[in-house]
């Protein structure tokens, strides 16, 4: 018959709590050592007791080196997350700009095709007429040059 599950909650009896801490701490340190040996992993384990006493374990490499590596890694992760957020914001802004640009171009295309002209002022109609005249001159010029060859 197997052991029953222990309900995870704070142990109220101070002596029992200290005994449990000592047993579980040694078990945790043993597990940290086992994973480092079996899997060739770099392990750093830091435990503070309720009285503030430090218990630590690190693989053959020193604790400081592992913690420095952790700091570099977590700093790089934070930078990536910050960049992702900034990138997402800049992509959203870029999307909005491009969407507005597309709407302007589609409106201009409708105007060039003679559609939606009622919304244009006299000045805008004159500008549109000049653009179309200029385009028509280029088209005729190209057509003449093609016929001459």
CA-to-CA distance for 43 and 33, rounded, in angstroms?
A: 8
Domain count, the chain: 3
Interval 18-73: pLDDT, tens: 999 999 999 999 999 999 999 999 999 999 988 889 889 998 768 888 888 888 88
Q: What is the DSSP letter of 120?
A: -
Question: Is the confidence at residue 85, as pLDDT, over 70?
Answer: no
Residue 33 lies in a domain: yes
CA-to-CA distance for 120 and 91, rounded, in angstroms?
A: 33
Burial of 98 (0-12, 13-18, 19+ CB in 10 A): exposed
Residues composing the chain: 149
Residue 14, domain CATH: 3.40.1810.10
Residue range(s) defining the domain that contains residue 50: 10-61
Question: Is the confidence at residue 136, as pLDDT, over 60?
Answer: yes
What number is the average pLDDT over the span 89-102? 84
Percent of the chain with pLDDT over 70: 93
Residue 45 lies in a domain: yes
pTM over 0.75, yes/no: no
On whether both 73 and 41 belong to a single domain, the answer is no
Quote the tokens at residue 130: 């000049």
Q: What is the DSSP letter of 135?
A: H
């Amino acid at each position: 018959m197997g052991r029953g599950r222990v309900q995870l909650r704070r142990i109220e009896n101070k002596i029992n709590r200290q005994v449990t801490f000592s047993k579980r701490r040694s078990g945790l340190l043993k597990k940290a050592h086992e994973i480092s040996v079996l899997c060739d992993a770099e392990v750093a384990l830091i435990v503070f007791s309720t009285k503030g006493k430090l218990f630590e374990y690190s693989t053959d490499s020193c604790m400081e080196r592992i913690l420095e590596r952790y700091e570099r890694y977590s700093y790089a992760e934070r930078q990536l997350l910050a960049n992702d957020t900034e990138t997402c914001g800049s992509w959203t802004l870029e999307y909005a700009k491009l969407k507005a640009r597309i709407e302007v171009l589609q409106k201009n295309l409708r105007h060039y095709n003679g559609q939606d002209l009622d919304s244009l002022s006299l000045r805008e109609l004159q500008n549109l007429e000049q653009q179309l005249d200029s385009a028509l001159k280029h088209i005729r010029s190209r057509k003449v040059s093609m016929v001459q060859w």
